[in-house]
Structure 1
Amino acid sequence: MFKKIRWLRHSIQIAFSLFLLYIGWRFYQFVSFFEQAGRQFVSRPPSVEGFLPISALMAFKLWLTTGVFDSVHPAGLAIFIAVLLVSWLFKKGFCSWICPIGTLSEGLGLLGQKIFGSNITLPRWLDKPLMAVKYLVLGFFLKVIVLDMPVAAISAFLHAPYNKIADVKMLKFFLSPSPFTVKVLLILMLLSLIIRHFWCRYLCPYGALLGLLSLASPFKITREENYCVGCRACTRNCPNHLKVDQMRRVYSPECTACLNCIDSCPVPEALRVTSTAKRLYLKPPHYIILLWGTFLAVILLAKLTGHWETSIPLEEYARLIPLSDMFSH
């Protein structure tokens, strides 16, 4: 019944990625207005703050400890909260249904399949240690920011000139990368062609955080043993190499709830998205609507409550953007 799930997911991923490219173009126009004479003014799209996760993590700690919602990059904090909420409620679905980096990583893996015939699956003795890297990187950020960094230092950083135009710095990083950056990006792209989800599986600290949070999710992929015919289609089609056919409920932090397993199952009742007590069963369309609905609802709430637009006046952007190359960590 749901054999079109992965095609629907890919369509959603592509549509959202195109939207983000449009947002990026508008932000480029906004920055250019302050750098190049004669440019037409375009308002700054707050959504670009979603690409500042470190700043958002700092703002999240500040919000939890003081109740102060960051006014410099409020959209970044709102998006961060939306991502955390989605991952807690609906597994690590953000990674496979929303995240643009996840979309790019998956697209490179599929392209690699077309070019080379298949992707390489690393042996367990190498795969497991490499998977630990993203958790080590996450641990580093959590220690430095959550445990060690005083609230006063966080507040000072959030209001510093560097952070105020961190999105501008990010834009310039991608528009004018150094030779070393280009080499690193090319290596990551090549590895993603050969090894499916290389970045997401081994290096992404954001995904590691969401994976750990998803363990507490009330919803899990559940295998109904009475209906399972043992064909192993679910395991063969799992992009994260989980042995779904051997599990009653998928508790792994590597499960991104892409629903490929459900999509490939020949028996409609054998695999389901169910609540912890199996009292609630979500059909794939309902799961998708709830996941995206939750994500968008948090953003809408942020807009309605005045926690979306930055408090930085245009006059300050006019002063800081031309000097952006002077600011560093």
Structure 2
Amino acid sequence: MPAFDLPWEDLKRYRPDLQEPAGFDEFWHDTLKEAAQPEVLVSAHPVATGLRLTDTWDVTFRGFGGDPVRAWFSRPAGVREPLPAVVEYAGYGRGRGLPHERLTWVNAGYAHLLMDNRGQGDQYGNGGATPDPHSTAPGGPGPVVRGLLSPRDHHYRRLVTDAVRAVAAVRALPGVDGSRVAAVGNSQGGGLALAVAGLVPDLAALLVTAPFLCGIRRALDLTDASPYGEITAYLSVHRGAERAAYDTLAHLEGISFARRAHAPAHFGVGLRDTVCPPSGAYGAFNRYAELSGADPRKEIHAYPFNGHEGGDAVHVRRQLDWLKGVLESD
């Protein structure tokens, strides 16, 4: 697929206008307040994985509505001192899978929490273990169109709340330095990590690649690839529902979350990405922290000949080097 979004030189300067809902901040303040519970952790049980150099726990914490959300928590075996932590969010349609699947951050010396996606896990990967008991509002079968006609009913209101609560959960686990917690994600996971950065003011770092839900209205005009294509398909059947859908999606806009962020940030983007168009990532990067009063360290790496895979392992190496510099600097 050839490059299809704005030219790279234009992307570097791209600062899109937003149709931000007047009650955006109140909506998320009230949502998170409703989810607040004195004890975020429900349980943490050690599990046998066959790995000698990694210790892993099956964690359950309270997310949206107090619902139980599952996660894998891993640490380098035999390390006793408190470690900085990476909270990772999985991609669209994927669950937490199996505990030995994602070992990069543990091998780099971090505590690692991989959050399950409620109501997802059946499209690829190795499954999930967190149902979504609230998924009854009008909408299509895919997560992005569940409850599309109301921001209070939408699937991502619950999933973003879970993502914020995951940071509280990792801080409550033993052997974690709660002052050094990073949010990490790719695609849907990148959109969740970006939302967390906008909603958790004391996050220590953000690493996001190919973020979903950034520049949503433009993405709907540019691509029919899933997940955006699921929204297009829904609206092609439910003619006249656009206004309600656009209002809901505006409450989930990643660029709006980016504007409110404080943490140092590391972005990655493939310029031929037809799943999450690169203008969304650049819009979030260029408007990052503009409302928070912070002036965080930030950088973005573009891969002109890559699509949704971005820089792949090359980019992960850059992430490792950058995060070490942020979390381990004096």
- TM-score of the superposition, structure 2-length normalised? 0.28
Which of structures 1 and 2 has the bigger CA Rg? 1
Q: Which has the higher contact order (CA 8 A, sep 6+)?
A: 1
**How does the TM-score come out when normalised to structure 1?**
0.29
Kindly indicate which of the two structures has a greater share of residues assigned to helix: 1
Structure with the largest fraction of strand: 2
